[in-house]
Amino acid sequence: MKKKIQVTLNGKKTELEVPSHRLLLDLLRDEIGLTGTKEGCGTGDCGACTVLLNGKPVNSCLIFSGELDGADIVTIEGLKIGPEMHPVQRAFVQDGGVQCGYCTSGMLMMSKALLDENPDPSEDDIRFAISGNLCRCTGYAKIVKAVQDAARELRNRRS
Ligand code: FES
Ligand code: FES
């Protein structure tokens, strides 16, 4: 059964008519064309599909579209600030936190959620926050450094 929903998607109010059981991941990728969000496992275990839903990170492969009326959704395509990359995106590139890139959009969304809540996370805080985001390439050390560097830049911007 199709359902009309209104959402704010990457800052824009959007009206959609969706099958209630369409997964948010499929809605984003296949119907809206926002393919930056990746599908890894499809079962909530890898974090590749992480987006922000009402400011909190969620696995979009586990969310039904019919539940989204009124929701605020941010995907990797909405992460940059104006024309500029978000500091966390820039830090991942500079620090080598991106290799094959498959996990990267999920990692970035999870990192943004952490930094929104905790501007000065410890290494343990970062490792805990990304513990549901699997990366087969980097060994995580460069990702952790990138999040620390982004946190420092964001704090400097605020001071
Ligand atoms: S694709 Fe959603 S958690 Fe793996
Ligand atoms: S960069 Fe390849 S899976 Fe993380």
Q: Tens digit of pLDDT for each residue in 4-59?
A: 999 999 999 999 999 999 999 999 999 999 999 999 999 999 999 999 999 999 99
pLDDT in tens, 79-131: 998 889 999 999 999 999 999 999 999 999 999 999 999 999 999 999 999 99
pLDDT at 81: 84
DSSP state of 29: I
Q: Which atom of ligand 1 is nearest to the CA of 61?
A: 2
Ligand nearest the Cα of residue 41 is 1
Q: Residue 134 and residue 104: Cα distance in Å, rounded?
A: 10
Which residues, 6 or more positions from 149, have their beta carbon under 8 angstroms from its beta carbon?
91, 94, 95
Domain 2-78 matches domain 87-154 at the CATH topology level: no
* pLDDT at position 1 over 90: no
Helix ranges restricted to H, 7-140: 24-26, 87-95, 104-117, 123-129
> Which tokens hold the place of 44?
């909530």
Homologous superfamily (CATH) for 87-154: [2Fe-2S]-binding domain (1.10.150.120)
Q: Residue 4 and residue 65: Cα distance in Å, rounded?
A: 10
Q: Is the pTM of this model over 0.95?
A: yes
pLDDT at 82: 87
DSSP state of 84: B
The CATH code belonging to domain 2-78 is 3.10.20.30
Residues with a CB atom less than 6 Å from ligand 1: 39-42, 44-49, 59, 61
* pLDDT at position 153 over 90: yes
Residue whose CB lies within 8 A of the most ligand 1 atoms, among 59, 75, 109, 135, for a mutation test:
59
Q: From atom 3 of ligand 1, which residue's Cα is the shortest distance away?
A: 44
Q: Residue 41 and residue 109: Cα distance in Å, rounded?
A: 17
Q: Average pLDDT of 123-141?
A: 98
pLDDT at 85: 95
C-alpha distance from residue 120 to each of 78, 123, 136 (Å):
23, 10, 26
pLDDT at 159: 86
CA of 83 from ligand 2 middle (Å) equals: 25
Q: Average pLDDT of 70-86?
A: 95
Locate the domains of the chain by residue range.
Answer: 2-78, 87-154
* pLDDT at position 149 over 90: yes
pLDDT at 97: 97
